[in-house]
Amino acid sequence: MTTAFRLDGKTAIITGGGSGIGQAIARKFAANGAAVHICDLHLDRANATAKQIVETTGGIAFAVPCDVTDAASTRQIVENIAAHGRVDILVNSAGISHIGRLETTREDDIDRVFRVNVKGVFHCMQAAVGPMREQGGGVILNLASVAATAGLNDRFAYSMSKGAVLSMTLSVAKDYLKDRIRCNAISPARIHTPFVDAFLKEHYAGQEKEMFTKLSNAQPVGRMGLPEEVASLALFLCSDEASFITGADVPLDGGFLNLRG
């Protein structure tokens, strides 16, 4: 049982790997044998994460500056990684949020969220499927959200983008079955990341504790999820033990989708 969910000999590309959920996934994958390429817009965060992985676990980690909205540079990054080995796993974790309903969402808000959350995932998947097909298979894991399938207050643009991520996941899973490329999504509910703390500080100064409790209680289990819990599910879905799973949207939501009310 000690070898379950291992990624020994596999190479993983993790976007948004310098912080939050992406960082937790990078750490988890490296601790379980994968060589991880931490792709992040903020190179300082990617470097810090890679350094921590190497120094604390002896894992293999590389920091890669990456703007997923730039199709040409994203493709070049993936091609460079493939040229030095393989691209076994792609995790699309890079993303941004937006607060607002239909009437308060501007066109440039839509464009910004779409450019990162939708086109960024598109660019990375399009760059990775070629090397994966040539090597005989691979795994793509996209970070969607419960917002893709549930109505959330003031999340118009964000929900739109995560719905698109889920649809792209299903399309890629279907189109690349014969190429042995699996494609799945994780749909988390609220996860306690630095973004949550910054959001509360900005919008609820002086009321952070009360609002944190309120947001935690939105999940029926009474708390937010942890990045490490998302990482554990990601590890399973990207491991050989999950080889019968593709085209799945797996909720990690503390009962949010099915147990509310």
Q: Where in the chain are all domains bearing CATH 3.40.50.720?
A: 11-189+227-249
Q: Report pLDDT for 260.
A: 86
Provide, rounded to the nearest whole percent, the portion of the chain with pLDDT above 90: 93
pLDDT tier for residue 2 given thresholds of 50, 70 and 90: low
Q: Report pLDDT for 195.
A: 85
How buried is 208 (Cβ within 10 angstroms: 0-12 exposed, 13-18 middle, 19+ buried)? Answer: middle
Q: Which parts of 32-148 fold into alpha helices (H)?
A: 43-57, 71-83, 107-113, 120-135
Partners of 184 in beta bridges: 141
Q: Give yes or no for residue 47 having a pLDDT over 60.
A: yes
Q: Give yes or no for residue 1 having a pLDDT over 60.
A: no
| Those residues with Cβ within 8 angstroms of residue 203's Cβ, 6 or more apart along the chain or in another chain | 99
Closest CA to 229 of 183, 169, 188: 188
- 120, 162 contact by CB (below 8 A): no
Q: Report pLDDT for 3.
A: 73
**Which residue type sits at 230?**
V
Closest CA to 141 of 247, 257, 20, 252: 247
Q: Give yes or no for residue 55 having a pLDDT over 70.
A: yes
Provide, rounded to the nearest whole percent, the portion of the chain with pLDDT above 70: 99
- 15, 78 contact by CB (below 8 A): no
Q: Give yes or no for residue 261 having a pLDDT over 80.
A: no
Catalytic residue flag (residue 204): no
Instruction: Note the pLDDT tens digit of each residue in 91-128.
Output: 999 999 999 999 999 999 999 999 999 999 999 999 99
Average pLDDT over residues 60-76: 98
pTM, to two decimals? 0.96
Looking at domain 11-189+227-249, which CATH architecture does it have? 3-Layer(aba) Sandwich (3.40)
Here the tokens at position 46 are 């990617």
Q: Report pLDDT for 54.
A: 97
Instruction: Note the pLDDT tens digit of each residue in 161-199.
Output: 999 999 999 999 999 999 999 999 999 999 999 888 988
Average pLDDT over residues 73-77: 98
Here the tokens at position 90 are 């792609």
Local structure of 158: helix, strand or coil = helix
Average pLDDT over residues 204-219: 93
Catalytic residue among 29, 122, 158, 176: 158
